[in-house]
Structure 1
Amino acid sequence: MDSAGANHGTVSPGVIYEDAKVGKGFRLNGTDQWLRIPYADGLGGPTYTVEAWVKPNAPVDDPSNQELILGQSFGRVQLAVRPGTSGVRAVCLFAHGPFAFSEVTSTGEIPIGQFSHLACTWDGTALRIYIDGLLNGEIVPGTSPAPSACPFFIGGFQDGCGYTGQFFNVVIDDPSLYARALSESEIRAIYVAGSAGKCLAAPACLASPTGLVAWWRGEGDAADAAGIYTGTTVGDLVFTAGVVGNAFNFDGLNDSVLARATPPPMLLSFTIEGWIWPTAWRVPILAFSDELGPQGVHLWTGVAADATPTPVPGTLYGNVREIAPTQQEHVIATAPGVVRSDRWTHVALAYDQPKGLATLYVNGTSVTSANVGSFTPRVAHPIYVGHVPPGNSDGVPNIRFTGLMDEIAVFARALTPAEVETIYAAGAAGKCADVPPYILDGPLSQRINVRTEVSFQVRASGTRPLFYQWFHGVEPLAGATNAMLSLTAAEFSAAGPYQVRVSNATGAAASAVADLTVTDPPAIAVQPQGQTVMLGGQATFGVVATGTEPLSYEWFRDGGAIPEAVGPILILSTVQANHGGKYSVRVTNVGGQITSDSALLRVVSGRLVLHLDGGDRRLLTTGQAGANYTVEASSDLQRWTPLATLLGTPADWSFTDTTAVGVSQRFYRLRRSFSP
């Protein structure tokens, strides 16, 4: 692993790690062993220093008369050894054209079987070589190193831009490459430090941009450092050296990472970012997807913009897909060659929903963007890293990533170009492992009826454990220290603003304010009363209701709404026979509604009342003024005999039945005989 950055190497089989000058060193057999470091921008800059502790185990015997300590194939920097008399001579060289080199060779030799310190510097003018902290040779070549994108090697070249050879039988310890020419005093200080070595001052990590919702660091497991998506490794997934610590090593056969959140957060805007080193093309990096159906939002590499089956090396392909029912695809893709198969590449896909803008980033730089529109992206699904599930309906089922991934992360917002650039620039330092809280789902404003239960809930990402404190207004609520706040039998005093503060060892976040409105639902204090009304008369129904104002009213007759009957009092003038029926009223406010009991309205055309006054039977009638009535009598309710006819009678009339003398029982009725 690279202790100072992200330029990690690959070790050939059989290399031994043995006690050396500063801890352990690389023991190489001089036949076929090497360490390979992929080319990356920043290696082999315009000026440089190469230095290492070296213990040759045998004289130089390579046919080229040169064996490698550290250098770039056909490149800007090489530190090597050549045959000496009793030991070996050090040589510092660079290529300034095809097979054309400038070099400086040490005047002294380093012995076989013991450690010596070697250093080579280029300051843009002079090429210098140092042995054990002292300058041992220099030249001014009058030329400069030629650019090269070939890989770097330690101990020998293995297919370095087509060249293999210069294997060194040696123990090499603490080999280092600097992007400037160290001074003689600095080189002397490294030599004098001896076995104490250089201090491993780890670069400062980058405080993560806000909104981190998922982060799979690849440090030996699939744990989510942000705490929302529970990740599991699938298949034979292994881990290897990555950009920041370890990384996922996908074999493309049966391994992947599957992560779920319950429920998945709704990410209206998002950013997917991480480091990748693919060794095959047209492979998935990350996809929001169910086991069946089409992928949701996804990020691939090696796919053409039109998604044809033929792999296109080096493209970055994003699809910001909409939710159902349209599931419309919005594709954005780069030109070929921006992602490399021989080194780490930082990639990112961001979608800014308010702006409708999708952007692809490579190595911290925006390489393409498109206005795809503002919509809800399809992200409320499990996340597959390095895999598309077998039930996928996009025509690409069960495809797997081959290669390395590191620091794969999802943010709940579109990162700015500057934020993406800082993540890339952090390199091996990476994002700080401790993630401050970020509110994903805040409490929602609610309206409840008095003396009922209500709950507020919050969900936040961030390094666990998270701590919660709820507030009513500005006052903290005693004991309200969980993600959910429940109020039972809430009174009117519970109304008002609520907020929660979420904190951890790294920081804190406050939710948006949620307002609680407590209402008194309507209740019927006085029910409408039933009544009997003469035809043509007036009927009045009333209700008395309590509850939070305003109260609204709607009257019904036999279940049907009465037009414009929307007050607490219902007055029916000039009642007709068809007005009879059951009357009720529905009272409504913000807290709900209630319907009164039914009140029966009976509409009659007349009324007959019998008064016994001594032996007399006096009949009192009430009828509609101007109407004609007949008073009839019966002893058996079968045969009726007219007693009197009232023509155009006034509303009230009195009559004494003088024919009832000696009759044991008699029934009377008043019948309206015809209309006036």
Structure 2
Amino acid sequence: MVRSRSFFFSNHRGVILANVILTRVNNKDKILMKFLKAFLLISAIALISLSSTLAFENKLVGYWSFDEGKGSPKDASGNENHGKIAGEPRWVDGKFGKALEFDGKDDHIVVKDHPTLDFTKNLTIMAWFMPKEVMTKRRMMSKNDSIFVMFDFGDSNTIDLLVKPNNDFVESKTSDWKVDQWYHFAGTYDGKFLRLYVDGKLEGEKKYGEGIAPSDLDFWIGGDDYGRPTDHFPGIIDEVRIYKHALNENQIQKVKEAPAMLQADGNSTTIWGAIKSLQ
């Protein structure tokens, strides 16, 4: 006889739903019982790991997955930092779901300034991107007078995280970027160090304790608001996330590979479809 029952595991970060099969067995069902025990053990370990991994998700202040496929990009962080499209970026297939392709001339997204997007001591900014051209001084994301994620193609061929007011920056070791290939970028600041990760691996670190300048300017994706068309990024951008928290390498690796398993909802987090993703 086989019965199914759902259990809810909860803590201050959210609720986890697990569907568990309960089985009454006779001697002929011992193999099935061994399988179920193994499944429950693996699931329990995954749930514990997932719960600890998601401790930082309440620091998520902006998340643009671009999975709408039309209209305006929505912020899924719960902070309503929705974007407005400028120019004519194209909806295309992304690393996960849909994404936006920018022409490198005037295409960009504008997210209006909001207190949740002001950074001073703690920051993680990340995205998947696919360059369509290799050019210098292209801004992928920016909040002028505060932070820039920019490509130094043509000079050192690196990707940089630059912060104001002193224009301090940390750069990648990677310099051989391929057109039409996906890469993941993450830049962090914890009040003491700027760090830069490419494809989940630490590539740059710089001591910096002077903080990030606050800015009342808008956050841009695909360019910056200095009005220079040559600053715009030519390529595809997907899964942009901003945290008021410096994620570590392990956290960045998990988020970059399974971005859709986390769905922020105000100050709580709903976890769904996660066990299979993390096993």
Q: Shared fold (TM-score greater than 0.5)?
A: yes
- Assess if the C-alpha contact under 8 Å between 1:242 and 1:406 holds in 2: yes
CA shift, 1:266, in A, is 3.2
Partner residue, 2:251: 419
Structure-2 separation of matches of 1:300 and 1:265: 18
Change (3 A) 1:421 1:505: closer
CA apart distance, 1:387: 0.8
Aligned with residue 431 of structure 1, among 243, 260, 268: 260
| Offset of residue 250 of structure 1 | 0.7
State whether structure 2 residue 56 is matched by structure 1 residue 227: no
Amino acid at match of 1:351: Y
Deviation at 1:256? 0.6
CA separation of 1:338 and 1:371: change in aligned 2, threshold 3 A? farther
Percent of aligned positions with the same letter in both sequences? 22
Give the TM-score normalised by structure 1: 0.30
Mapping 1:261-660, distance limit 5 Å: 261-268=113-120, 269-280=122-133, 281-282=135-136, 283-289=138-144, 295-303=145-153, 310-313=154-157, 315-321=158-164, 327-337=165-175, 339-353=177-191, 356-391=192-227, 399-424=231-256, 426=257, 429-432=258-261, 434-438=263-267, 503=268
Aligned length: 212
Selected match of 1:213 from 56, 61, 65: 61
Counterpart-to-counterpart distance in 2, 1:434 and 1:339: 31
Q: State the 1:253 CA deviation.
A: 2.3
**1:389–1:398 contact (8 Å) kept in structure 2:** no
Displacement after TM superposition at 1:418 (Å)? 0.9
SS at match of 2:252: helix
CA drift of 1:223 comes to 1.0
The alpha carbon displacement at 1:380 in A equals 4.4
Bigger strand share = 1
Instruction: Return the alpha-carbon distance in structure 1 between the equivalents of residues 126 and 203 of structure 2.
Output: 14
Which of the two has higher C-alpha Rg? 1
CA distance in structure 2 between the aligned counterparts of 1:215 and 1:257, rounded to whole angstroms:
13
CA distance in 2: counterparts of 1:333 and 1:506, whole angstroms: 34
Indicate the structure with greater helix content: 2
Q: Is the contact between residue 62 and residue 75 of structure 2 (CA under 8 Å) also seen in structure 1?
A: yes
> CA RMSD of the aligned region, Å?
2.5
What amino acid does structure 2 have at the position aligned with 1:232? K
Residues 151-190 of structure 1: pairs in structure 2 closer than 5 A: none
TM-score (norm 2): 0.68
Quote the Cα distance in structure 2 between the aligned partners of 1:230 and 1:388.
17
Instruction: Give the conservation status (yes or no) of the 8 Å contact 1:300–1:316.
Output: yes
- The higher-RCO structure (CA 8 Å, 6+ apart) is 2
With over 3 angstroms needed to count, the CA separation of the structure-2 counterparts of 1:504 and 1:407, relative to structure 1, is: closer
Distance 1:218 1:255, change over 3 A: same
* 1:579 paired residue number: none
